[in-house]
Amino acid sequence: MALTKDITCLDAVALVSDYLEGALGQRERRRLERHLAHCEACSAYLEQMRATIAATGSVGPDDLSPETLEGIVELFERYRGDGD
């Protein structure tokens, strides 16, 4: 791991999903939190990601549109046969 103290925004966004999963090591987590403390843009990105995960979780099978169902069936069809 690099010894540089501060991470860039580009580095920070790469850590956000793991951060929300609680999967970062202590050192990486601290680096990210230090960056977030002074970076509004990355803090906004973190909040976007939280909202994205919440939105994804709010989508249940009852919300599946016929189009989506069709997509699942299509996906399935591609794997059913050996052809194509």
Partner 1 sequence: MWPRTPGSPCYVAPSEFEGRSTFKTWLLRITVNLAKKTGTREHRVVNVDPVNPVSRTRFDSVGMWNEAPQPFTELVEGRLARADVVNAVHRAIRELPELQQAVVTLRDVEGLSTSDVAELLELSDANVRVLLHRGRARIREVLEMTMNRGQPWH
Taking CB under 8 A as the criterion, the residue among 37, 58, 83, 84 binding partner 1 is 58
Per CB under 8 A, the list member of 37, 55, 83, 84 interacting with partner 1 is: 55
How many CB atoms are closer than 10 A to CB 32?
23
Query: What single DSSP character describes residue 7?
Result: P
Which residue, 60 or 83, has its beta carbon nearer to partner 1?
60
| x/- map, 5-44, partner 1, by CB under 8 A | ---xxxx-xx-xxx--x-x----------------xxx-x
The least CB distance from residue 16 to partner 1, in Å, is 7
The sign of the dihedral angle between the CA atoms of 19, 11, 28, 43 is: negative
72 HSE (CA, 13 A, CB side): 7
